[in-house]
Structure 1
Amino acid sequence: MKHIIKDVEPDVLTGYKLNSTNPSYINFCKKSQRKLNLNDALLDEQGYLCCYCMGEINSENMQIEHWKPQSKYPKLDLDYNNLFACCEGNKHNPKRKKGSENIHCDSKKSSLELTINPLNKDCETETSYFGDGTINAKNSVYNKDINDYLNLNYENLKRNRKSAWIKVLSNLTKNRVKNNEINKLINVFSEKNKDGKYHPYCQIIVFFLKKRQVAGT
């Protein structure tokens, strides 16, 4: 997962809450343009990555995730710090085999409550990766979120993460990148590009680049 730093709440959401006698997420979304504006704000904030799996998303294949579920925390349904852009979790894939083991992220989580939070830096510092793309946490509670609630070790996600790292690793080997140049690459994959986007699955790349950097010192 990647740590998300919240921007200022977008005007479209602030204005709606100030000018509504009984504001609610459902009523907010009744005007499609308001919803699109909120989508755009979340996408820009997150660099067009899903808040959980780090897969690339856009305005057409994203959904808004309530970290604290609406069913249990209705008063937080318009709290901007509770709102994230999330992928569809494979649920609309026509080739997907039926079963909850083949969906992930919010589609898997549904109304379950998480402990691991993209707003906390430890979603990065407490997690690590293996060569096959597996994500693992240092504590059992986070691992339950990762595996049981979000299904982030779904085979397709593992394969995608592994592929993202292998491409970078191949370039490192091919171009004989020296250790003192790895820090530049870490910065590249830690920051948004000129289009305001992060590289998909960037954290697994940063994780292994840092390991190579330490090993080479």
Structure 2
Amino acid sequence: MLYIEKEQEPNELIQEKRKGLTDYSNLSGKPKEAVQVSLLEEQGCLCAYCMRRISLENVQIEHYLPQHPQSENYDPALTIDYRNMLAVCSGNKKQAGKFENLTCDQHRKNTPLTVDPLDRTSIDKIKYKTDGTIYSDDPAINKDLDSTLNLNCPASYLKANRKAALDRIKRELHDKFPGKKVPKQQLERMLKQFQAKTNGRYAEFAGVIIWYLKRQIARV
């Protein structure tokens, strides 16, 4: 998971609100597409939860504070609050077959989360193991990652893909500095590279790479 810095809401959404939009269920067409495009740009075309590559063709709009149509606390205004919107993947919906094989918002449903992609402190509590497991020493955040969002689900290949991303960066460093200690300056350059977008995109599963490089820098 990556920290997301929210930008100003798209003008198309502002205009829809001025026309009387009060509930997300009534957002459609070009205004909805403008929101999707804006979210993708903010997130570098990665799912807010699992860091899979997403595009306009498969993006879903997720509400961080979930919609509760049956709840007394349901607030339709939150559904059109741009800061409450995230771009996510399909959650393994097409391949899953079973609920336990779903990920991200498809598995989360309306369960509240402690981990918050808009809170850098929260994201800094996320860690990874060498086998690609995502976890946290904070019990509430760890429950979000492993249980609520199901980000270690074997059927989704997320764990394997994170491991592959981690292994690639390790090989790259080894090839550049075989048998040598990697200079701090090199680690910092690579960190800056993965924290930035290239052609509007972050590297897929960039979070695990950023975590690894930060850990290596701290050890130098």
TM-score normalised per structure 1: 0.92
1:212 deviation in Å?
Answer: 2.1
Q: Secondary structure at the match of 1:128?
A: strand
Distance between the aligned counterparts of 1:115 and 1:211, measured in 2? 24
Identity in percent:
35
Counterpart in 1 of 2:176?
Answer: 175
- Matched residue count: 209
Q: State yes or no: 1:105 paired with 2:100.
A: no
Shift of 1:124: 2.1
Indicate the RMSD between aligned Cα atoms, in angstroms: 1.3
Looking at structure 2, the residues matched to 120 and 212 of structure 1 have their Cα atoms a distance apart, in angstroms, of 23
Which residue, 187, 195, 199 being the options, matches 1:190?
195
For residue 56 of structure 1, the aligned residue among 53, 58, 62 is 53
Aligned ranges 1:94-133 → 2 under 5 Å: 96=96, 98-133=97-132
For 2:87, what is the secondary structure of its paired residue?
A: strand
From 30, 33, 46, the counterpart of 1:33: 30
| Residue 85 (structure 1) aligns with | 87
2:205 to 174, 198, 201: 201
The one-letter code sitting in structure 2 at the alignment partner of 1:12 is E
Q: Deviations over 1:103-128 (max 9, x none)?
A: 10011011111111111012321111
Secondary structure of the residue aligned to 1:51 is coil
Find the residue that maps to 1:92 and give its secondary structure. Answer: helix
Distance 1:78 1:183, change over 3 A: same
In structure 2, the gaps of 5 or more residues are 69-73
Tell me whether 1:147 sits opposite 2:151 in the alignment: no
CA contact (8 A) 2:116 2:123 kept: no
Shift of 1:69: 1.1
Give me the whole-angstrom Cα distance separating, in 1, the residues matched to 2:77 and 2:147: 26
Which of 62, 67, 81 is 2:64 aligned to? 67
Aligned to 1:10: 10
Structure 1 residue 181, shift from structure 2 partner? 0.9
- The 2-side partners of 1:211 and 1:117 are apart by 21
Normalising to structure 2: TM-score of the pair?
Answer: 0.90
Q: 2:161 corresponds to which residue?
A: 160
User: What are the Cα deviations for residues 161-186 of structure 1, in whole angstroms up to 9, with x where unaligned?
Assistant: 11011111111111215443111000
Conserved 8 A contact 1:55-1:201:
yes
Partner residue in 2 for 1:211 = 215
Find the aligned partners of 1:112 and 1:73 in 2 and give their Cα distance.
16
